Amino acid sequence: MRPRSSALTIAAVAVVAALVPAATGCASSSPERGADRPPRTARLFAPDSVWNAALSSDAPLDPSSDARVGALVDEVADEVRRGVGPWISESHYSTPLYVVRGAQRRVRVKLDAGSWADSLRGALAAGVPIPRGARPADGSDGHLTIHQPSTDTMWEFWRAVKRPDGWHASWGGVMRRVSQSPGYYTDAAALGLKPQEGWNWGSTATSLPVIGGTILSEELRRGRLDHALALSVRDACARIFTWPAQRTDGGLRGDDCLPEGAHLRLDPSLDVGALDLPPITRILAEAAQRYGIIVRDVTHTAVGFYAEDPTPTGRQPYTGTGGLYGGLEPWEFLPRFPWKHLQLLRMYLCAKAPCEPPAERRRRAGR
């Protein structure tokens, strides 16, 4: 069975506390004796990737923008009335991110899948540098993400579990040269892949990395997010998706559904500073205006963003007096996000992978 997004809540990412903090707000796993220190400037995905590139103020809109954004606004309003959303989840269906050193010992991960997974199985044959004591996220998705800056490689897994005979997973992905990656899985994710291989890798149902678009607690402390936000919607279009997504698990039909991979943005002419938003809401709105919001998953419950899961650190930095949410709860500050001012950027729709606009294909080939 291939991965599907959680039916219970919005996914989030956990950064594990450790001895040597990285500049990005990610922390390193505890080092083995003699292990080298990871670079302090490690960054996931290329500067011009779909997650990190700032949007042009005149980026073209999709002809269906009004209808699809209108349906999203109506969905959010209905969730507010019913008290189920919108939401940010920080503790369930998350993915811990372990940033490891080059000397980290590699272990075998057995992929519990059929022969259709042989390309990924081969890419995992050299082992994965999972640190001792690592654990996957709570929830049935069991996400686990490993980043090794010294080799510029990232691994992620779906339904990861450690059993008496070692680590197992139902699916996942390997991404080499992650600092130059376009932000989604392609046939360049590992060496030796055939042109049609690699596009369906990844522990989300879109092949967009589960860490992509995640809000880190360190970013909230800085008061600035320098990347696009990942968004989950209650449901998405069936059968079709749009670049940068490479798959879909949506079930909706109609002209106003949002395809997975849809790239939204706040109207660049909107004066966010004049809206009198809570500080946390303003941080999200400013990122949505500059970098956008990418639909990455389906939840079947509510619309929501992704935030760093603090559970492995033993701290809860978000809520309560002095918390990063400014003493507010998500149901208090997310309805004030200017949802009605969102715009849908021009889409490149696909029914199967590979899914890339010609200009993106040429740009990626030139890296």
Handedness of CA 159, 162, 164, 168 (dihedral sign): positive
Residues of the chain with pLDDT under 70: 1-42, 311-314, 367
Residue 264's pLDDT is 98
Token output for 44: 């996931």
| Strands 263-266, 171-175: pairing kind | unpaired
What is the per-residue pLDDT for 95? 78
pLDDT tens figures, 153-197: 999 999 999 999 999 999 999 999 999 999 999 999 999 999 999
Q: Which two tokens mark 288?
A: 């949505």
Closest CA to 86 of 230, 199, 233: 233
Residue 333 DSSP SS3: helix
Please give the angle made by the CA atoms of 197, 50 and 188, to the nearest 5 degrees: 25
Q: What is the pTM of this model?
A: 0.88
Give the whole-angstrom CA distance, residue 235 versus residue 185: 22
pLDDT at 174: 98
